[in-house]
């Protein structure tokens, strides 16, 4: 019999015992016991029937299950007795668990899942680590074309090997940079996409070297956004980086949701797309990511062994062929293809997940605090019942089990409800991140990892929220509780204070995160850069400027300059070597007489003479560059320095007329001092900056255009001008302000989500603090009454309650700061890499604002309970004595 | 009064671990219900072994769970009532042999310790 037949089995046992009892009764009668006493005698002979029943149940081996079921039934009954409380608890937990699991679902889809749905067990991604390579010393890198060919041709363990490279191309018809993948022709098959939405996929002929076809497969997202789902797209010609490609198929975003490209082209097209480089035919350039499918019956370890052999053969061939001293040695790592297993970025992914899930866990903790409080108050109101149980001999374990069952019931229902959020949250987040991210929107599939995580959260919530109630139940003073004395406060003030401190601390950390992210967009758009961002357009150009093409490039630039300057609304045009809002690698600048190594790090910007007027950067002293200044890179010349530079090099003296030495040993005389700008990091003054005069006869550099009026028509005019000159130019001119705004927009939608989550957390914290205080005040009403009888005024009582709350709040803030400070530091360090956002400087602001907010809301939460404390009735308190 | 007390003193609880064997042995005579089994053991030992119902029923259910006995509600031949009859299975028979031989070994071992000379004589 199985456990679900337990009822039947119970009935059976009951019947058996009853029939044997009757037999015993008959025997007793036969023995001469008077009929009216026979039943009792039989029972005596039989012993304790309930005990027999219990012991028999034990023999079934199901006793723990039965006991658990009993606890659960009991929990259900107590839910029915206090439904509101459980609804609140369940909702709090559902939110806490749901937000966590929802975000985890998203992270899981992006980082943890292998990039294919079809038989992910046989999918392998291969990463190479070339050591002894000339440039890439000991780094994970893609494969060279030769190595890919070797693996594909020689591997027996892998039945299909694909390679791909992600890049950005300009789709002329879409006029925006588009994500593209140059792929081998078996790419879709290896990634488990069997058939296209419409049209066809690549056939092997499309990839043959030399006679490769200029064909492209579009992802469904690109097809929808850039071509309006044109049903006649197949066979049409599109232009990628200026080259014509024929569309042959559409790959559905459902199947290809992991496939990162918007446009797929054969990998043999790489030289065509990537002008000036020919990675495909270069024996030394690593560029291909390699993935394959295991032949059935082979494991990843087999593949590892085989591919390593192949690669060491390749290494030997490489060394033999090259007369150079490089002694290449390749190590391989094989993974399931998920991001988190990518050895090059694993650490960053883990750190990122920790940074995202960390604050979310705090929301769950807050929910647990709330639930703890609810259960705690229930434990206290039920202390009569609990005391009776203890008096009747219930063990502590039994008691704990009972309370655990209640909180398990609550968190399981909460967890079940949270599944709704698990499906909603990822979509909400992806939608909020922005419409032009929509082509990367992943189809979110919760899998065993998500549900495992959910189960872990439920278990954690169960245990966390039942710890304190269990402790309170164990500490119950039997005697007073049994006497039913209302007066005996059983929850220590230390417990309630602890809860308040924890909730304030957690709320504080969450608010800090929200404030920080809420501040970022305004930090970006509100930046006072020190130059005009609204009327300066950056014109991105890609021109080959090797010596062979020098005259061609020069003509191109000259013509372009004159045409742009002829556009109505354009004021001036300038060049610079440094971009805006990106870290600048410093160069060493010395004073004359200093030897190399003793100079100071300086950002050097190589500019054209009208740079300052184009950017509207005021010159504080001296003169701007003029056409008479020598520009030859070998000759000594003049320079303009920033204020910070002047202060750094000549703290007291006059910089004008002084000499400096550049890293290439040119001696420059300072002729002007320009105002400082904030062009490297947002809202941070740049360090020392040196402006040198650009050689006007050398093409290249970043082109900036100053204009007046509305930017849009000018941007379009510039684009058309460039296209008219060179159709292959990848160009989307934008004012500096517009590119900032685009950045800020993305961050602010993300900030919106974080703000929402933090608000949920803050609400929980406030409700929690309110709950704890109300509870504490209710239980101290007798104490307040007595105090009043002894002469305390209502104000004194109000003050004492508020003061204690304030003390706890401050303690909570300190604890919170102790968590938030290092957290922000870690985040800042994480974000810092390659980003102009300086988060470190934000800390005081964030901590301050959050602290004020927290104090205000927790005072608000204190108000009502404190007021209630003053309403304690002294008479009632005395009567209870 | 005192005689009852003495009697009680001489009675003994079924030795730990032997109850299963005794039940299986009893069922060798044929199917029987719980009450019958208990009474049988008690009577055969002249009331020396006290059958506690509290251990009898758990034991029966344990044996059934192990597949050594099966149970069925059947009408008793002499009465017009159904009882739950336990029946020895083939597996139970084998188990009985195993337990019997183990018990014999045990007895011999104990005997050798208790009465070392008796073997020599």
Residue A673 above 90 pLDDT?
yes
To test the contact with chain A by mutation, choose from B38, B53, B85 the residue with the greatest count of A C-beta atoms within 10 A, namely B53
* Cβ of residue A853 closer than 8 Å to a chain B Cβ: no
Which has the higher per-residue pLDDT, A835 or A420? A420
pLDDT of the residue at A9: 79
Instruction: Let me know whether A435 and A496 are in one domain.
Output: yes
Residue A236 included in any domain: yes
Please choose, from the candidates A309, A472, A298, the residue with its C-alpha nearest in 3D space to the C-alpha of residue A380: A472
The pLDDT of residue B13? 54
How confident is the model at residue A294, as a pLDDT?
92
- Asked, for residue A412, whether it belongs to a domain, the answer is yes
Q: Å from B8 to nearest chain A CA?
A: 14
Q: Are A107 and A356 in contact (CB under 8 A)?
A: yes
The rounded percent of chain A whose pLDDT value lies above 90 is 9
Residues A626 and A540 in one domain: yes
| A670 shares its domain with A635 | yes
Nearest CA to B55 out of A292, A75, A54, A392 is that of A54
Q: Chain B: give the shortest CA distance to residue A28, in Å.
A: 13
- The residue with greater pLDDT, A134 or A273, is A273
Give CA–CA dist A64/A54, Å, rounded: 12
Select from B54, B82, B84 the Cβ nearest to the Cβ of A52: B54
pLDDT digits (tens, 9 = 90+) for A34-55: 888 888 888 887 777 788 887 7
Q: Which of A16, A44, A61 is the last residue of a domain?
A: A61
Give A379-413 pLDDT, tens digit per residue. 777 777 888 888 887 788 888 888 888 888 888 89
Determine, yes or no, domain membership for A112: no
Exposed, middle or buried: residue A512 (CB in 10 Å: 0-12, 13-18, 19+)? buried
Task: Please provide the average confidence, as pLDDT, over all residues in chain A.
Answer: 82
Checking phi first, is residue A142 left (phi over 0); if not, alpha (psi -120 to 50) or beta? beta
Which residue, A179, A214, A216, is CA-closest to A201?
A216
DSSP class of residue A865 equals: H
Query: Is B59 in Cβ contact with A61 (below 8 Å)?
Result: no
Cα angle for residues A311, A312, A316 (degrees, 5° grid): 115
pLDDT on residue A691: 92
User: B66: which residues sit within 8 A by CB, 6+ positions away?
Assistant: B91, B95
By C-alpha distance, which of A283, A252, A246 is closest to A265? A246
Q: Is B33's CB within 8 Å of A20's CB?
A: yes
**Which of A337, A371, A393 is the last residue in one of the domains?**
A337
Segment A241-270 shows an average pLDDT of: 77
In angstroms, what CA-CA distances link A317 with A146, A147, A312, A328, B78? 11, 11, 9, 10, 98
| φ, ψ at A504 (rounded to 5°) | -65, -45
ipTM (interface predicted TM): 0.78
In angstroms, the CA A688 to CA A672 distance is: 14
Dihedral sign for Cα A636, A639, A644, A650, please. Answer: positive
The answer to whether B72 faces chain A, any CB pair under 8 Å, is: no
d(CA A261, CA A75): 53
Q: Which whole number is the average pLDDT over A516-543?
A: 81
Can you tell me the mean pLDDT for A513-542? 82
Q: At what angle do helices B90-114 and B19-27 cross, to 10 degrees?
A: 130
Closest residue of A to B38, CA-based?
Answer: A20
Whether the pLDDT of residue A854 is over 50: the answer is yes
- On whether residue A717 sits in a domain, the answer given is yes
Residues A404 and A255 in one domain: no
- Domain assignment present for residue A875? The answer is yes
Q: What is the pLDDT of residue A256?
A: 44
Percent pLDDT > 90 in chain B is 4
- A829 in a domain, yes or no? yes
- Percentage of chain A beyond pLDDT 70 is 90
In angstroms, rounded to a whole number, what is the distance separating the alpha carbons of residues A89 and A372?
Answer: 9
Q: How many CB atoms lie within 10 A of CB B106?
A: 12
More confidently predicted of B62 and A635: B62
Whether residue B61 and residue A20 make contact (CB cut-off 8 A), yes or no, is no
Do A286 and A160 reside in the same domain of the chain? yes
Q: Would the CB atoms of B65 and A52 count as touching at under 8 Å?
A: no
For the segment B26-49, the average pLDDT, to the nearest whole number, is: 84
**Mutation for testing the A interface, residue in B37, B54, B66 having most A CBs under 10 Å:** B54
Do A596 and A663 fall into the same domain?
A: yes
- Candidates A15, A19, A59; nearest CB to B61: A59
B35/A58 CB distance under 8 A? no
> What is the distance between the alpha carbons of residues A582 and A118, in angstroms, rounded to a whole number?
41
Of 1.10.10.10, 1.10.3210.10, 3.30.300.20, 3.40.1390.10, which CATH number belongs to B11-115?
Answer: 1.10.10.10
For position B121, what pLDDT does the model report? Answer: 43
**Same domain, residue pair A876 and A826:** yes
Q: How does residue A161 score in pLDDT terms, banded at 50, 70 and 90?
A: very high
Neighbours of A843 (CB within 10 A): 17
Contact B82 A60 (CB under 8 A): no
Q: Is B57–A58 a contact, with Cβ atoms under 8 angstroms apart? A: no
Q: Are residues A151 and A281 in the same domain?
A: yes
Q: Measure the CA angle with vertex B106, ends B104 and B107; round to 5°.
A: 65
Please tell me whether residues A723 and A765 are part of one structural domain: no
Range of the domain at A193: 120-337
Give the H or E element holding residue A290. Answer: strand A289-294
Mean pLDDT to the nearest integer, A652-675: 88
CA distance A770 to A776: 10
Dihedral angle sign, alpha carbons of residues A200, A202, A204, A208: positive
Q: Using one digit for the tens of pLDDT, what is the confidence trace for A550-600?
A: 777 888 888 888 999 999 889 999 999 888 887 777 788 888 888 877 888
d(CA A823, CA A815): 13
Closest C-alpha to A257, from A165, A201, A192, A200:
A192
A129/A176: higher pLDDT = A129
Residue of B nearest to A22 (CA): B35
Residues A505 and A593 in one domain: no
Strands (E), chain B: 12-13, 32-33, 49-50, 69-75, 82-88
**Per-residue pLDDT at A308:** 92
Q: Name the burial class of residue A607, with classes exposed (0-12), middle (13-18) and buried (19+) by CB atoms within 10 angstroms of its CB.
A: buried
Instruction: Mark whether A237 and A161 lie in a shared domain.
Output: yes
Q: What is the DSSP string of A63-103?
A: HHHHHHHHHHHHHHHHHHHSHHHHHHHHHHHHHHHHHHHHH
Residues 41-70 of A with CB under 8 A from B: 46-48, 51-52, 55-56, 58-61
All residues of chain B having their beta carbon less than 8 Å from the beta carbon of residue A24 are 35
Most confident option among A244-253, A418-427, A582-591, A738-747? A244-253
A473-490 confidence digits (pLDDT tens) = 887 777 777 776 544 445
Structure tokens, A807: 């003390």
Note whether A20 contacts B34, CB cutoff 8 Å. Answer: yes
Residue A755 has pLDDT above 90, yes or no: no
CA angle (A634 as vertex; A633, A635 as ends), nearest 5: 100
Q: How far is A486 from chain B (nearest CA, A)?
A: 43
Would you say B28 and B88 are in contact if contact means Cβ atoms under 8 Å apart?
A: yes
When scoring A1, A10, A14, A23 by the number of chain B Cβ atoms within 10 A, the one with the most, hence best to mutate, is A23
Rounded distance between C-alpha atoms, residue A869 and residue A863, angstroms: 10
**Domain assignment of residue A107, yes or no:** no
> Dihedral of CA A300/A302/A303/A305: which sign?
positive
Residue scoring higher pLDDT (A326 or A783): A783
pLDDT category of residue A136 using cuts at 50, 70 and 90: very low
Size of interface A-B (CB pairs under 8 A): 49
Residue-wise DSSP of A361-396 = HHHHHHHHHHHHHHHHHHHHHTHHHHHHHHHTT--H
Summarize the confidence of residues A828-842 as an average pLDDT: 64
Distance CA A525, CA A751 (A): 14
Domain range list for chain B: 11-115
Domain tally, chain A: 4
Shortest Cα distance, chain B CAs vs residue A70, angstroms: 21
Structure tokens at A651: 């703290």
Under DSSP, the state recorded for A110 is I
> Which backbone phi and psi does A741 adopt, to 5 degrees?
-60, -40
pLDDT band per the 50, 70, 90 thresholds, residue A716: confident
Higher pLDDT, A424 or A173: A424
Secondary structure class of A622 (helix, strand, coil) = strand
Q: Is residue B34 within 8 angstroms of chain A, CB to CB?
A: yes
- What's the confidence (pLDDT) of residue A120? 85
One domain for residues A734 and A747? no
* Cα–Cα distance for residue pair A421/A183, rounded to 1 Å: 37
- Contact yes or no for A110/A339 (Cβ under 8 A): yes
Q: Whole-angstrom Cα distance, residue A382 to residue A74?
A: 14
DSSP type of residue A440: G
- Give per-residue pLDDT as tens, A281-329: 877 778 888 999 999 889 999 999 999 999 999 888 887 876 555 677 8
Q: Which pair of tokens denotes residue A680?
A: 């490297």
**What is the number of other CB atoms lying within 10 angstroms of the CB of residue A426?**
26
- pLDDT tier at A69, thresholds 50, 70, 90: confident
Across residues A256-274, what is the average pLDDT? Answer: 75
Instruction: Give yes or no for residue A219 having a pLDDT over 60.
Output: yes
Q: Which helix (H) or strand (E) holds A109?
A: none
Whole-angstrom distance, CA of residue A588 vs CA of residue A578: 16
């Amino acid at each position: 019999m199985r456990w679900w037949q337990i009822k039947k089995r119970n009935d059976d046992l009951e019947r058996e015992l009853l029939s044997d009892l009757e037999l015993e009764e008959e025997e007793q009668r036969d023995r001469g016991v008077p009929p009216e006493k026979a039943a009792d005698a039989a029972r005596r002979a039989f012993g304790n029937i309930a005990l027999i029943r219990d012991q028999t149940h034990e023999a079934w081996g199901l006793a723990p299950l039965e006991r658990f079921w009993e606890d659960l039934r009991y929990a259900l009954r107590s839910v029915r007795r206090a439904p509101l409380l459980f609804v609140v608890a369940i909702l709090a937990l559902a939110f806490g668990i749901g937000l966590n699991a929802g975000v985890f679902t998203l992270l899981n889809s992006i980082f943890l899942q292998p990039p294919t749905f079809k038989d992910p067990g046989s999918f392998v991604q291969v990463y190479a680590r070339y050591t002894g390579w000339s440039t890439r010393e000991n780094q994970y890198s893609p494969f060279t074309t030769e190595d890919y060919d070797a693996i594909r041709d020689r591997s027996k363990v892998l039945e299909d090997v694909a390679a791909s490279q992600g890049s950005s191309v300009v789709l002329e018809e879409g006029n925006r940079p588009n994500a593209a993948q140059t792929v081998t022709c078996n790419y879709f098959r290896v990634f488990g996409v069997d058939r296209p939405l419409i049209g066809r996929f690549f056939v092997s002929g499309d990839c043959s070297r030399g006679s490769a076809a200029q064909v492209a497969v579009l992802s469904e997202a690109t097809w929808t956004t850039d071509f309006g789902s044109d049903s006649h797209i197949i066979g049409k010609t599109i232009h990628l980086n200026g080259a014509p490609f024929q569309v042959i198929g559409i790959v559905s975003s459902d199947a290809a949701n992991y496939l990162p490209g918007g446009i797929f082209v054969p990998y043999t097209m790489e030289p065509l797309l990537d002008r000036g480089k020919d990675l495909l035919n270069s024996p030394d350039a690593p560029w291909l990511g390699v993935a394959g499918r295991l032949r059935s019956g082979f494991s990843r370890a087999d593949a590892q062994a085989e591919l390593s052999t192949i690669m060491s053969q390749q290494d030997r061939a490489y060394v033999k062929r090259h007369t150079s001293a490089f002694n290449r040695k390749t190590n391989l790592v094989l993974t399931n293809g998920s991001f988190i297993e990518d050895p090059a970025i694993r650490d960053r992914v883990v750190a990122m997940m920790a940074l995202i899930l960390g604050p979310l866990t705090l929301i769950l903790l807050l929910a647990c605090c709330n639930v703890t409080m609810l259960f705690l108050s229930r434990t206290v109101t039920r202390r009569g019942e609990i005391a009776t149980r203890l008096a009747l001999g219930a063990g502590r374990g039994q008691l704990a089990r009972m309370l655990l069952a209640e909180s398990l019931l609550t968190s399981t229902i909460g967890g079940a409800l949270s599944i709704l959020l698990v499906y909603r949250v990822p979509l909400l987040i992806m939608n909020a991140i922005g419409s032009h991210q929509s082509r990367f929107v992943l189809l979110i599939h919760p899998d065993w990892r998500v549900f495992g995580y959910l189960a872990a959260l439920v278990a954690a919530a169960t245990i966390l929220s039942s710890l304190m109630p269990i402790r309170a139940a164990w500490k119950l003073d039997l005697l007073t509780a049994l006497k039913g004395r209302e007066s005996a406060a059983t929850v220590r003030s230390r417990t309630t204070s602890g809860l308040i401190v924890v909730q304030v601390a957690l709320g504080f950390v969450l608010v800090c995160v929200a404030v920080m992210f809420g501040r970022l967009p305004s930090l970006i758009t509100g930046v006072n850069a020190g130059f005009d961002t609204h009327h300066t357009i950056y014109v991105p150009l890609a021109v080959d400027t090797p010596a062979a093409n020098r005259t061609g490039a020069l003509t191109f630039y000259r013509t372009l300059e004159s045409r742009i300057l002829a556009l109505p609304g354009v004021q001036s045009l300038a060049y610079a070597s440094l971009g805006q809002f990106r870290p600048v690698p410093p160069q060493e600048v010395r004073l004359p007489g200093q030897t190399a190594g003793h100079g100071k790090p300086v950002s050097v910007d190589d500019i054209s003479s009208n740079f300052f007027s184009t950017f509207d950067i005021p010159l504080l002293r001296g003169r701007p560059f003029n056409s008479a200044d020598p520009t030859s890179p070998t000759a000594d010349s003049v320079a303009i320095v920033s204020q910070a530079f002047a202060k750094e090099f000549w703290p007291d003296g006059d910089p004008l007329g002084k000499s400096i030495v550049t890293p290439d040993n040119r001696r420059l005389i300072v002729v002007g001092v320009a105002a400082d700008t904030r062009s490297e990091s947002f809202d941070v003054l740049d360090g020392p900056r040196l402006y040198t005069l650009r050689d006007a006869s050398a093409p290249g550099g970043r082109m900036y255009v100053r204009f007046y009026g509305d930017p849009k028509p000018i941007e379009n005019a510039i684009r058309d001008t460039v296209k008219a000159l060179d159709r292959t130019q990848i160009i989307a001119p934008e004012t500096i302000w517009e590119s900032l705004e685009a950045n800020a927009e993305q961050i602010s939608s993300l900030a919106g989500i974080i703000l929402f989550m933090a608000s949920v957390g803050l609400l929980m914290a406030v409700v929690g603090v309110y709950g704890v205080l109300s509870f504490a005040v209710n239980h101290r009403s007798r104490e307040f009454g007595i105090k009043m009888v002894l002469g305390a005024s209502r104000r004194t009582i109000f003050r004492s309650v508020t003061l204690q709350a304030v003390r706890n709040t401050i303690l909570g803030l300190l604890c919170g700061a102790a968590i938030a400070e290092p957290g922000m530091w870690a985040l800042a360090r994480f974000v810092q890499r390659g980003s102009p956002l300086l988060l470190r400087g934000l800390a005081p602001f964030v901590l301050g604002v959050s602290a004020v907010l927290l104090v205000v809301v927790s005072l608000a939460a204190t108000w009502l309970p404190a007021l209630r404390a003053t309403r304690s009735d002294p008479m009632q308190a005395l009567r209870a004595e | 009064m005192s005689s009852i007390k003495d009697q009680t003193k001489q009675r003994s609880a079924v030795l730990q671990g032997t109850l299963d064997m005794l039940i299986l042995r009893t069922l060798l005579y044929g199917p029987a219900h719980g009450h019958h089994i208990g009474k049988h053991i008690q009577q055969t030992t002249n009331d020396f072994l006290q059958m506690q119902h509290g251990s009898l029923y758990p034991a029966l259910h344990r044996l059934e769970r192990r597949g050594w006995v099966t149970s069925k509600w059947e009408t008793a031949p002499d009465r017009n009532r159904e009882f739950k009859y336990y029946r020895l299975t083939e597996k139970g028979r084998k188990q009985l042999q195993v337990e019997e031989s183990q018990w014999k070994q045990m007895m011999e071992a104990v005997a050798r310790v208790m009465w070392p000379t008796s073997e020599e004589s």
